[in-house]
Amino acid sequence: MSSERKPTFAIIGAGMSGLLAALKLREAGYEFTVFEKADRVGGTWRENTYPGIACDVPSHLYSYSFELNPDWKFLASPGAEIQEYFEGIAKRYELEGSIRFNDPIVRCDWQGEGWEVEGGSGFVGHFDWVIAATGILHHPKHAEIPGIEDFAGDLFHSAEWDHSVALEGKRIGVIGNGSSGIQITGTLAPIASEFTLFQRTAQWVVPVEQVEYTEEQRAEFRSNPEALQGLHDELDQSFHQGFGNQVLDSSSDIFEGMRTVCNNHLDTFVTDPELREKLRPDYTPACKRLVVSHNFYDSIQVPQAELVTESIERIEAGGVRTADGRLHEFDVLVAATGFHVDAFVRPMAVRGLDGVTLDEIWKERPSAYMSMGIPGFPNFFMINGPNSPVGNFSLIRTAEMQFAYLMMLVDHVKEGGHSHATPSSEAAVRFEDERTEAAKNTVWATGCRSWYLDDRGIPFVWPFPFERFTQEMEKPRFEDYTIG
């Protein structure tokens, strides 16, 4: 490619990472098209609208570092407020005209010099680079329970909420007590006539206080950007240096501290000894993704609520039959059963060098060099892709650093008068081997079932300290790429 011509980009997805890529490319004067499967921006915050949805990461950390928001109303914002933030970003940077809504990419073919990309609408475009910003918690995992199709009431997944269904005064069942199930319980148990939470594994629940910022506090943030920046930086520092790094060493003292805090929370707030013991986990805190809540223990103790730990045998027209033979009858059944976290860009058909497909390369499990690139797939990079930090570092900081890394690579290729870069297989294998070894020492590998584990039971999350991530993202190791 001539070094005068600016490369062009296809961005897949208009969630947090896709919007970030789009606005940064706009600022840098590049041409790009965003392909978005839905009719609005927002990604996970557009998809997840269940009652009680909020981000358990403080809002002043869950913001782009260059778009801090003095007007966050809560310490941990409800989903609708975060959705509003991302919609505001799309408007402010005038991105909507560059987004093809309702046009999911179905096919990406490498054609020697660039990518041919096809949208579900039949649109076909040609781009030099593809940035896949498709998210991790993206493909709902429907409860695979015998008889589920027989249920006669309303049944939906937490990420596919049917808002036409009235909830107040109804008999409601929730399957799953991850972060979604716990937030739903916090909100729905008090308004249901009967409420049941089906718990397969107890969760460590970290107490938080829901703090609403006053108008005076928000005015102070507006008039004092340094104070706002200071708050962001302080949250960022304590999250990454504290929690983010300590979960990597399963022998760290931090887990005993967490156990004490969570046990105190449980012992103080749950009065019935039998319920208390059912709610007490028997594995190391943070082995599963920690659940944070200000109202779960209150809600599960309202008179109409029940925690059921008996295993589910099948679903029938009337409700859920447990192994003890009991039928739990419901009007509404919610599957808060999580996501297929290993799908990433799939089921999109992606074909790289020599016609190799992503399905073939990833047939055992997904992996990516530096969590971003795949050998055999030139100029195809993911943000928050396989092996990215998730839960241990801020997802937004991670995306910002990954995007900056990619732009250094793009500039390097262009300045050399080249057209493409592909991570070498040797570099990818070296990274994967080192990553897999480090993952075995993390708290996620201490013996619990969680979505952090791959098919071998090895955590797939970035297992190195934050400093290592910062260092790797500071400048690509160009020698790890085939550039041509």
What is the contact surface with ligand NAP in residues (CB under 6 A)?
A: 54-57, 137, 143-145, 158, 175-181, 183, 198, 200-201, 289, 312, 336-338, 391, 449, 451
Q: Which is nearer to ligand NAP, 391 or 459 (CB)?
A: 391
Buried b (16+ CB within 10 A) or exposed e, 177-188: bbbbbbbbbbbb
Q: Which is nearer to ligand NAP, 205 or 350 (CB)?
A: 205
| Angle of CA points 133, 136, 137, to nearest 5° | 125
Chain length of the chain: 484
Q: How far is the CB of 220 from ligand NAP (least distance, A)?
A: 26
Residue by residue, DSSP assigns 5-70 as SPPEEEEE--SHHHHHHHHHHHHTT-EEEEE-SSSSS-THHHH---TT-B-SS-TTTSS-TTS--T
Q: How far is the CB of 170 from ligand NAP (least distance, A)?
A: 21
Q: Which is nearer to ligand NAP, 198 or 255 (CB)?
A: 198
220 is written with which tokens?
A: 């102070």
Q: Report d(CA 484, CA 479) in Å as an integer.
A: 13
Q: Which is nearer to ligand NAP, 117 or 453 (CB)?
A: 453
Q: How far is the CB of 355 from ligand NAP (least distance, A)?
A: 35
457: left (phi over 0), alpha (psi -120 to 50) or beta: left
Q: How far is the CB of 70 from ligand NAP (least distance, A)?
A: 22
312-315, strands of its sheet edge to edge: 312-315, 319-322, 327-329
Q: Which is nearer to ligand NAP, 180 or 387 (CB)?
A: 180
366 is written with which tokens?
A: 């997904």
Q: Which is nearer to ligand NAP, 440 or 449 (CB)?
A: 449
CB 308 within 8 A of CB 198: yes
Q: Report d(CA 321, CA 244) in Å as an integer.
A: 41
Cis peptide before 378 (omega within 30 of 0): no
**Identity at 125, one-letter amino acid code:** G
Q: How far is the CB of 292 from ligand NAP (least distance, A)?
A: 7
226 is written with which tokens?
A: 């340094």
Q: How far is the CB of 337 from ligand NAP (least distance, A)?
A: 4
Q: Which is nearer to ligand NAP, 92 or 200 (CB)?
A: 200
Q: How far is the CB of 296 from ligand NAP (least distance, A)?
A: 12
CB 66 within 8 A of CB 197: no
DSSP state of 115: E
Q: Which is nearer to ligand NAP, 167 or 206 (CB)?
A: 206
Q: Report d(CA 391, CA 191) in Å as an integer.
A: 31
Q: What is the dihedral of CA 412, 416, 418, 423, to 10 degrees?
A: -40
Q: How far is the CB of 50 from ligand NAP (least distance, A)?
A: 9
Chain-centroid distance, C-alpha 346: 16
Q: How far is the CB of 183 from ligand NAP (least distance, A)?
A: 6
Q: How far is the CB of 481 from ligand NAP (least distance, A)?
A: 31
Q: Which is nearer to ligand NAP, 5 or 326 (CB)?
A: 326
What residue is closest to ligand NAP based on CB? 178
Residue among 314, 311, 312, 310 at smallest CA distance from 146:
314
Q: Which is nearer to ligand NAP, 117 or 287 (CB)?
A: 287
Q: How far is the CB of 218 from ligand NAP (least distance, A)?
A: 22
Q: Which is nearer to ligand NAP, 53 or 368 (CB)?
A: 53
Beta strands 129-132 and 8-12: pairing type?
parallel
CB 367 within 8 A of CB 429: no
Q: How far is the CB of 392 from ligand NAP (least distance, A)?
A: 11
Strand blocks (E) in 354-426:
380-382, 421-423
Q: Which is nearer to ligand NAP, 176 or 423 (CB)?
A: 176
Q: How many CB atoms lie within 10 A of CB 80?
A: 12
286: left (phi over 0), alpha (psi -120 to 50) or beta: left
